[in-house]
């Protein structure tokens, strides 16, 4: 089923599939506004409930990678919606037959943030403080940085997690800065965490817009939303994740940054890409952190190369059952 890209002549609205959470709707609303602005026609949000939304169990217990994605992809392939917006970090690394990643919009700040009682920073938390997160990656890095903290699993939306700090259940939680920014909740943040202490998840802060591969009209319209630099950085990070054969629940962090640099031939300037990666034991007892460089045009190869370096450094035993 091919979507009718809306125009000012009144053709039907494009149906954008989204999870029903406040954050998912906020993210999808940004895409809907951008697409409507570029095409001149309406975009309708269609709420889809995923397996990850129906349970409060840990993502790994629900099947890991894809629990927030499969229902949206099924709706796309069935023709019930025309495009879907995902938090890019939730996507499986393998492509989905019949679908295409049509656009990666400009990326939000990918760093993690701390939300703590009494305005505390991470270094201010007393020994034994209870700090909540649902991500094995964060658990591993927090335990490696502060072995004296009590890092506990927590699930739920942003309000639920922040509420556990407000009601005293937890002393602090760690969340993605991008989500709080998109929800207008940056006032809750007590510290933006430097990647040297907590490296983000691969593709954190980025959105992925999928549509059917044969919907050429919509693919053309979505091209206006593409941000090449965002695509390059997440491509490197995700290539690392794929080469490690690790999912979004693995204790793996990665962050690619761009730095304009001249090539050896000054007539053909290139953009340098710096990729940092980390794999840590869940209990924080071991950490392997490496980096490599390349260019924006070979982002995928940069990710594969860093993965090879990490594997050569012995991270396979740290990945454990997440592989």
- Residues serving a catalytic function are 89-90, 137-138, 155, 161, 248
Spatial separation of the C-alpha atoms in residues 237 and 174, rounded to whole Å = 21
Strand spans (E) along the chain: 14-18, 43-47, 83-87, 99-103, 112-116, 130-133, 150-153, 172-176, 191-192, 207-212, 252-261, 270-280, 287-295
| Chain mean position to CA 160 | 20
Element (H, E) at 266: none
Distance CA 306, CA 294 (A): 10
Neighbours of 214 (CB within 10 A): 12
How far apart (Å, rounded) are the C-alpha atoms in residues 190 and 47? 32
Place of tokens 């059917």: 212
User: What is the spatial distance between Cα 196 and Cα 189, in angstroms, rounded to a whole number?
Assistant: 18
Beta carbons within 10 angstroms of residue 249's beta carbon: 22
3-state DSSP helix/strand/coil % of the chain, to nearest 5: 35, 25, 40
Q: How far apart are CA 18 and CA 47, in angstroms?
A: 5
Residue 146 C-beta-side C-alpha neighbours within 13 Å: 20
Give me 206's structure tokens: 């980025």
């Amino acid at each position: 089923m091919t979507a009718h890209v809306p125009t000012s002549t009144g053709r039907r609205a494009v149906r954008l599939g989204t999870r029903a959470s406040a954050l998912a709707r906020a993210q999808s609303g940004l895409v809907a506004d951008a697409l409507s602005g570029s095409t001149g026609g309406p975009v309708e949000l269609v709420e889809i409930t995923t397996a990850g939304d129906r349970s409060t169990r840990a993502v790994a217990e629900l099947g890991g990678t894809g629990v927030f994605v499969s229902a949206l992809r099924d709706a796309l392939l069935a023709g019930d919606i025309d495009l879907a917006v995902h938090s890019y970090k939730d996507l499986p690394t393998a492509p989905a037959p019949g679908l295409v990643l049509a656009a990666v919009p400009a990326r939000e700040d990918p760093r993690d943030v701390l939300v703590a009682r009494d305005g505390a920073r991470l270094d201010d938390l007393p020994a034994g403080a209870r700090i909540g997160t649902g991500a094995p990656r964060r658990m591993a890095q927090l335990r490696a940085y502060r072995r004296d903290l009590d890092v506990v699993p927590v699930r739920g939306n942003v309000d639920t997690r922040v509420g556990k700090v407000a009601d005293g259940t937890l002393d602090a939680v760690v969340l993605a800065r991008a989500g709080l920014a998109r929800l207008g909740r940056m006032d809750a943040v007590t510290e933006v965490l430097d990647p040297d202490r907590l490296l983000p998840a691969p593709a954190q802060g980025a959105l992925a817009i999928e549509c059917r591969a044969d919907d050429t009209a919509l693919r053309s319209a979505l091209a206006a939303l593409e941000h090449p630099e965002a695509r390059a950085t997440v491509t490197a990070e995700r290539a690392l994740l794929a080469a490690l054969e690790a999912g979004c629940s693995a204790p793996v962090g990665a962050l690619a940054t761009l730095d304009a640099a001249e090539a050896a031939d000054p007539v053909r300037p290139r953009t340098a890409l710096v990729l940092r990666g980390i794999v840590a034991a869940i209990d924080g007892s071991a950490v392997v952190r490496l980096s490599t460089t390349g260019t924006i045009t070979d982002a995928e190869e940069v990710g594969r190369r860093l993965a090879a370096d990490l594997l050569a450094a012995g991270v396979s035993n740290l990945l454990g059952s997440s592989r």
